[in-house]
Amino acid sequence: MPAGYLRVSDEKSYTAWSHVRSSSVVRAAPSSRARRVGRLKTKTFVGSRDTVVVLGRWKMWSRVRYARLGATIGWVPTRVLWPSSAVRTRIVVDISSRRLRAYNSGRLVMSVRAAIGAPSSPTPLGRYYLRERVRVIDAATSPYGPFAFGLNGFSRYRTDWLGGGQLAIHGTNEPSSIGRNVSNGCVRLRNADILRLSKIMGVGTPVLVKR
């Protein structure tokens, strides 16, 4: 990190996040001459306001975790972001036990069984965040149940899907799938559990997917 870099988020006890004010190139270093590594947009595929996690700042630049396939950290001018908010929540998805745990200020507030990716489309390990909240209209028949959290990560096995194969934590119309390796990479919860999660977790919440 450059001298004078200010760390903003630890993605565990405190996480700052911002909506995107204007589209921007994402760069590998805090310089307008640095290599381009991605791009920010103001809206997601479904029309929500796009969101980034602010990891740190240096001069007029912000180091952010943003939405894309693969490496998701880069630098953008701070002026392209709205002022930051912060959360003290986090989510941990344990692939081995097929369980989702949610924390608030370090305290476990929810622990439930989940369905994860099938062997042909595994849920990718790594650090993500809740990028958007989506209430599903046709909840009775939708494979996403009544609610979905869109993540900033994408599945490399489903890049041909509309939206590029964005990962999500969502409900399901197949409750018997919970606790199994059957999804296309997303994390499925029982509908009652995703509704409960929607009441205690907001955008910007970091998500760790681990084995």
* Domain range summary for the chain, segments of one domain joined by +: 6-86, 88-210
The pLDDT confidence band at residue 159, using thresholds 50, 70 and 90, is confident
Separation between Cα atoms, residue 63 and residue 74, nearest integer Å: 6
Given the residues 57, 63, 170, 188, select the one marked as catalytic.
170
Is the predicted pLDDT of residue 162 greater than 90, yes or no? no
On whether the pTM is more than 0.85, the answer is yes
Residue range 92-101: average pLDDT? 98
State yes or no: is 186 an active-site residue.
yes
Q: Which CATH class is domain 6-86?
A: mainly beta
Please confirm, yes or no, whether 170 is among the known catalytic residues: yes
**pLDDT tens, 109-126?**
999 999 999 999 999 999
Which is catalytic among the residues 8, 100, 151, 186?
186
Task: Indicate the SS3 state at residue 101.
Answer: strand
pLDDT at 88: 98
Mean pLDDT of the chain: 96
In order of 51, 153, 195, the CA distances from 65 in angstroms are: 9, 10, 26
Rounded to 5°, angle at Cα 150 from 145 and 51: 150
Ranges 70-74, 160-164, 168-172, most confident: 168-172
Express each pLDDT in 34-60 by its tens digit. Answer: 999 999 999 999 999 999 999 999 999
Q: Write the DSSP string, 46-70.
A: TSPBPEEEEEEEETTEEEEE--SSS
CATH number of 88-210: 2.40.440.10
